[in-house]
Structure 1
Amino acid sequence: MTATLSIPQTPLARPAATSRPRGRAWPWGLAAVGLVALVLTAWQVWDGAPSAYYASIALSMSQSWSNFFFGAMDPSGTVTLDKIPGSFWVPALFVRVFGYSTWAVILPNALAAVGAALITAVAARRLAGVRAGLLAGAIVAVTPIFVAVSRSNQPESFFVLGLSITAWAAIRAIQQRSFGWLVVAGAAIGLSFQFYMLEAWAVWPALAAAYLATAQSWARRIGHLLVAGAVSVVASLWWVAIVALIPAGSRPYIGSTLGDDPWEMVFGYNGLGRFGATSDSSAYESFTPPFSGDPGVFRLFNAQLAGQIAWLIPAAIVALVVLWLLRFPRPLALLLTVWLATFGAMFSVVAGMHQFYTSALAVPLALAVATALAWSARAGKAWPAVAILASAAVTAVGIAFSVGGYSIPVAIVQALIGVVAIVLLLSRHRARMVTTAAMVVGLLLTPAVWSAVTIAHPNSINPVAGGVSEMASGFGGRGGTAGGAQTGGAGGFAGAPGGAPGAGGAGGMAAPNGGAGAQDGTRDGRGARSGSGTTGGQGATGGAPGGTGGFTAGAGGFGGDQTALLSWLEQNRGGATYLAATFGAQSAAQLIVASDGEAVLPIGGFNGTDAAPTLDRFISLVESGQLRYVIAGQDRVGGPGGASVGAGDSSTGTVSAQIRSWVEQNCTTAADAPSTVYVCGTVAGGSGA
Structure 2
Amino acid sequence: MPDVPAVPAVPPAEIIDERFSPSPRKRWERPALFVLLVVTGALYLWELSASGWANWFYAAAVQAGSVSWKAFLFGASDAGASITVDKPPASLWVMALSARVFGLNSWSMLVPQALMGVATVGLVYASVRRYFSAQAGLIAGAVLALTPVAALMFRFNNPDALLVLLLTGAVVATLRAVENGRTRWMVLAGVLVGLGFLTKQLQAVLVLPGIAAVYLIAAPVSLWRRLRDGLIAVVAMIVSAGWWVAIVELTPAANRPYVGSSTDNSFLNLTFGYNGLSRILGHSAPTTHTGTALGGAASENSGGHPGGAVSHFNAGLLRMFAGDFGGHIAWLIPAALLLGLAGLLIVGRAKRTDVRRAALLIWGATLLVTGLTFSLMNGMAHEYYTVALAPSIGALVGIGGWLVWTRRTERWAMPVLAAVSLVTTGWAFVVLGRSPEWNPWLPWVVLVVGLVAAAGLMLGRRLGTKVLRTGVVLAMVAALAGPTAWTVQTVVTPHEGGGVKTGPAVVGGTSRGPGAFHGLTGSDVVIALLLKDAASYTWVAATGSETAATYQLLTDKSVMPIGGFSGGDPSPTLAQFQAYVADGKIHYYIVGRSGSGGRGGKRVFASIETWVRHNFSAQTVDGVTMYDLTKPTG
TM-score by length of 2: 0.86
Partners of 1:479 and 1:268 in 2: CA distance:
28
Choose which of 465, 470, 479 in structure 1 pairs with 2:502. 465
Choose which of 124, 134, 138 in structure 1 pairs with 2:138. 134
Partners of 2:550 and 2:122 in 1: CA distance:
35
Distance 1:571 1:223, change over 3 A: closer
Partners of 1:652 and 1:201 in 2: CA distance:
30
Contact 2:88 2:200 in 1 (8 A): yes
Distance 1:15 1:448, change over 3 A: farther
Contact 2:309 2:512 in 1 (8 A): no
SS state of the match for residue 586, structure 2? coil
Match of 1:455 in 2: 491
SS state of the match for residue 347, structure 1? helix
Partners of 1:209 and 1:316 in 2: CA distance:
20
1:46 is matched by which residue type in structure 2? S
Deviation at 1:659, TM superposition (A): 1.1
Choose which of 548, 559, 582 in structure 2 pairs with 1:588. 548
Match of 1:430 in 2: 465
Match of 2:391 in 1: 363
**Percent of residue pairs identical:** 30
Distance 1:421 1:206, change over 3 A: same
Deviation at 1:200, TM superposition (A): 1.0
Contact 1:81 1:254 in 2 (8 A): yes
Say whether residues 1:164 and 2:165 are aligned partners. no
Contact 1:424 1:430 in 2 (8 A): no
Which is bigger in relative contact order (C-alpha 8 A, separation at least 6)?
Answer: 2
Distance 1:395 1:48, change over 3 A: same
Deviation at 1:108, TM superposition (A): 1.3
Write out per-residue CA displacement over residues 481-502 of structure 1, whole angstroms, 9 at most, x where no aligned residue: 234xxxxxxxxxxxxxxxxxxx
Distance 1:280 1:291, change over 3 A: closer
Partners of 1:654 and 1:74 in 2: CA distance:
22
Choose which of 299, 307, 312 in structure 1 pairs with 2:327. 307
Distance 1:123 1:367, change over 3 A: same
Partners of 1:97 and 1:126 in 2: CA distance:
36
Deviation at 1:435, TM superposition (A): 5.1
Write out per-residue CA displacement over residues 71-114 of structure 1, whole angstroms, 9 at most, x where no aligned residue: 11101111111111101111111111121211122111111111
Distance 1:342 1:573, change over 3 A: closer
Deviation at 1:332, TM superposition (A): 3.2
- Equivalent residue runs for 1:279-678 within 5 Å: 290-291=310-311, 293-328=313-348, 329-350=356-377, 351-380=379-408, 381-406=413-438, 408-426=440-458, 427-428=460-461, 429-431=464-466, 434=470, 436-461=472-497, 462-468=499-505, 473=506, 477-478=507-508, 481-483=511-513, 514=514, 519-520=517-518, 529-530=520-521, 561-571=522-532, 575-584=536-545, 586-595=546-555, 597-638=556-597, 654-671=603-620, 674-678=623-627
Write out per-residue CA displacement over residues 505-542 of structure 1, whole angstroms, 9 at most, x where no aligned residue: xxxxxxxxx557xx41xx6xxxxx22xxxxxxxxxxxx
Deviation at 1:337, TM superposition (A): 2.5
Deviates more, 1:349-358 or 1:458-467: 458-467
Distance 1:618 1:157, change over 3 A: same
1:102 is matched by which residue type in structure 2? S
Contact 2:569 2:602 in 1 (8 A): no
Contact 1:456 1:467 in 2 (8 A): no
Deviates more, 1:563-572 or 1:250-259: 563-572
Say whether residues 1:32 and 2:35 are aligned partners. yes
Contact 1:301 1:310 in 2 (8 A): yes
Deviation at 1:577, TM superposition (A): 4.2
- The number of residues matched between the two structures is 585
Write out per-residue CA displacement over residues 315-354 of structure 1, whole angstroms, 9 at most, x where no aligned residue: 1111122022212554333223322110111111222221
SS state of the match for residue 542, structure 2? strand
Choose which of 176, 188, 192 in structure 1 pairs with 2:192. 188
Distance 1:613 1:368, change over 3 A: same
Write out per-residue CA displacement over residues 221-267 of structure 1, whole angstroms, 9 at most, x where no aligned residue: 22221221221222233211221111112211111112111111222
Contact 1:92 1:105 in 2 (8 A): yes
Partners of 2:126 and 2:323 in 1: CA distance:
34
Match of 1:245 in 2: 250
Deviates more, 1:568-577 or 1:400-409: 568-577
TM-score by length of 1: 0.79
Partners of 1:108 and 1:576 in 2: CA distance:
32
1:252 is matched by which residue type in structure 2? P
Partners of 2:509 and 2:165 in 1: CA distance:
33
Distance 1:301 1:600, change over 3 A: same
Contact 1:592 1:600 in 2 (8 A): yes
Partners of 1:574 and 1:135 in 2: CA distance:
54
Unaligned runs of 5+ in 2: 1-12, 287-306, 349-355
Write out per-residue CA displacement over residues 593-625 of structure 1, whole angstroms, 9 at most, x where no aligned residue: 001x21212212112222322222211222233
1:263 is matched by which residue type in structure 2? L
Contact 2:538 2:585 in 1 (8 A): yes
Distance 1:305 1:360, change over 3 A: same
Deviation at 1:208, TM superposition (A): 1.2
